[in-house]
Structure 1
């Protein structure tokens, strides 16, 4: 531990007993006299209880070898205890303080009550226990000092995780888009959406790593869920909480970490959106605000509300009522609502040079998302008189900011204007990134996103991009619900390109794509297809 002291002793139970632990701690206290008597007493009691637990296993299963390593810094004292006792799965969350008449079962609940952190795992066929108590806290006692309250809180938190029914589910594009965006925005090596399970952290989405889970005791995110704001670790090697963490001193060699807690509908902190990198760095206040916004985006996706009939009516009302008649172009679109109606919509309407097209996806479900979608549609249509689509987007951002902040929502969208004579398409992509141009000759082009979603940054400078549609070229834009029907976005766009090349018309292509939905999608599936025929 950086800037601290470390003590290690080996014991054998039997013949040794807890007196050896007392003697070791006396040596520790001599070398570090600044800690408060309450901290010392609490840690010593917790460690003695842990040693007693190891001894009790030795009495049942024969001799047990034990190694205790104690590390002390100006911020905390911690101990790692490894023993050769019986290997078993220890679910610490299941241990609660027994009633007053019970003669046993108090050891582990007492350790949890006296420690800020307490974990168990099996490593190299050894039991490995870890306890830590932090010094100089604004509240000198652990938040979990009342054991019963701790158990109830953790039980409630775990119930919230389980109720989402999301652990160990396949990747979903709606989450992968967020981690890709976070990785790009913060310029880091890795971004993940992490859920804290009983004894592990599990990654619902990841960008920059192949890992899918890790031990909870090593997880930075296990610390993130203990607070309500951004956890920033500029340099983990200089932070006594993490300096000896296996993820810091070994692969992936984390130096910088930042995470924001994700809450369940009941307010329980169930995980975090986090980014990390092998190079130290710091966040600006703007960075912290964006991280919070992205975490709320994840939160909205995790807490999809039940379907509203009125929301479905609003959503249907957003769709174009008339087919486009545009000489030399063939246009079609469709929106297939999922089990929980959201804020997807597509739109088209005439402008001076030809036609304007929009495909938008409001993050969230139910009536609130549908209302925001209606507002986005109205604002964009009102800007149709302006030839400057970047200016139209800027105006939309300003007008929608208050509503989006109040609802905690965001809008990703693709908005374009097509010149009927030249085939020139001018567009702005606001965090959507799900549009392609399928060329008649060969290959396809991804239309990249160069802007954040509406609602993340009111001061964003909107970037207009262009491409030209030649005869036989097809523009396809889809919502992320379409990608959820495939194992990966690569497979999704490969199938989209195949259907475009064999489709005889824009409507046939749309029907083929939407026909894949059935009951498989948990999110709305929206498709917009524009083909230049001559």
Structure 2
């Protein structure tokens, strides 16, 4: 038996003192729990894999990964038992977490039969026939090194762990710990990615503009950008192949390169701003050719320049294919592009095309994650959806409703620009 004290008769002795944490330390621990941004989050298979593996390795019917909040134990992954928010005082794990402070060199709490311990015997999942008997818990640590939760396995019969099984238990706990740490890294990356999105343009006389970027996971491979140029505004929507942190890193690279090249050409041509936008895309593709080749990926993009005074739009579509003009009368036209995504052919070139926005016309640029939310998953269904929305605000509301009803499996990014009736 590991991690519990025994009296002279070999009986386990655990009471409320074993669950106490100094109040100042507890406040620091709770801040660590909050910093993870995991409480009440959706289930994730990366944690469920651990509990499934634990059941198979130890031949036990139950396993969990949980966080210990101020008044509750919340389960990120639970396999074999119906639990979600368990009152903290009705948990064995409160002792496991406290033990991380009192016995840091040996924090595992393994109890052959928890029903024999008065302090635990009245817990609903333990009391009565068929309740939990065997418990093994290992603390998981958050920012600052504070124990934030536990990895556990349970059985409905008393049992012990051999030395090899105890080693395997620690290995699985280390796996859970790595996933907790990855969560912290992902949340930090997500925060940085949100901060890289451009601030709102504010009031643009004669135009209404809405933008949104909703990653399917913590971080995503989509981005949008916009900024003023000499005679109007520049807009970019791009989608790097892939998901997660790897795609997010490349997304930041593409965004930075596009903005730098666009501004460099804008400065070089001055107020005339008559350069072909294909030169901007070609420059970026050349700069990033080795990066795309090394990572075996590519990016689709739609890059456009709006001339505010008359609604003229020059654009390049690099394999994106999801830009649409919705005319004031409700008719919609997809803006077709002939260029490939950047990163496919190192020596490829791009040429710009043009479209004019009249009063009441709206340009909508989306990422392919939006198609996953549309019945049939094709551009024609997307056109039908847009035909009933005449303003950027209405488009955004429609997309938000779709995302709320169907959780996206890919990033959803949207830029909608309307030339107002009085523009």
Query: Runs of at least 4 residues of structure 1 off by over 4 A?
Result: none
Question: Which of 334, 355, 359 is the equivalent residue of 1:471?
Answer: 359
Residues 1:496 and 2:394 are matched in the alignment: no
CA contact (8 A) 1:318 1:347 kept: no
CA distance in 2, matches of 1:489, 1:318: 30
SS of residue paired to 2:294 = helix
Question: Which of 514, 517, 524 is the equivalent residue of 2:400?
Answer: 514
Structure 2 spans left out of the alignment, 5+ residues? 1-48, 50-181, 266-272
How far 1:490 moved relative to its partner?
4.2
CA distance in 1, matches of 2:419, 2:316: 20
Match of 1:483 in 2: 371
CA distance in 2, matches of 1:357, 1:324: 15
CA contact (8 A) 1:314 1:370 kept: no
CA distance in 2, matches of 1:435, 1:467: 11
SS of residue paired to 1:520 = coil
Structure 1 spans left out of the alignment, 5+ residues? 1-162, 164-304
1:384-423 matched pairs, under 5 angstroms: 384-385=262-263, 386=265, 387=273, 388=275, 389-423=277-311
Residues 1:434 and 2:312 are matched in the alignment: no
CA distance in 2, matches of 1:426, 1:460: 20
Seen in structure 2, the aligned counterparts of structure 1 residues 400 and 444 have a Cα distance that, compared at 3 Å, is same
Question: Which of 371, 377, 384 is the equivalent residue of 2:255?
Answer: 377
SS of residue paired to 1:481 = helix
Residues 1:363 and 2:252 are matched in the alignment: no
Report which structure shows greater RCO (CA 8 Å, sep ≥6).
2
CA contact (8 A) 1:410 1:455 kept: yes
Match of 2:417 in 1: 530
Match of 1:30 in 2: none
CA distance in 2, matches of 1:381, 1:459: 21
How far 1:510 moved relative to its partner?
1.1
CA distance in 1, matches of 2:196, 2:248: 9
Match of 1:268 in 2: none
CA distance in 2, matches of 1:346, 1:485: 19
CA distance in 1, matches of 2:212, 2:388: 16
Residues 1:330 and 2:218 are matched in the alignment: no
TM score, norm. by length of structure 1: 0.41
CA distance in 2, matches of 1:410, 1:324: 32
Comparing both structures, which one devotes a greater share of its residues to helix? 2
SS of residue paired to 1:448 = coil
Match of 1:214 in 2: none
**What do residues 202-230 of structure 1 show as CA deviations (whole Å, max 9, x unaligned)?**
xxxxxxxxxxxxxxxxxxxxxxxxxxxxx
Residues 1:341 and 2:219 are matched in the alignment: yes
Seen in structure 2, the aligned counterparts of structure 1 residues 441 and 523 have a Cα distance that, compared at 3 Å, is same
Match of 1:321 in 2: 199
How far 1:465 moved relative to its partner?
0.4
CA distance in 1, matches of 2:385, 2:228: 27
CA distance in 1, matches of 2:198, 2:389: 22
CA contact (8 A) 1:362 1:369 kept: yes
How far 1:437 moved relative to its partner?
0.2
TM score, norm. by length of structure 2: 0.51
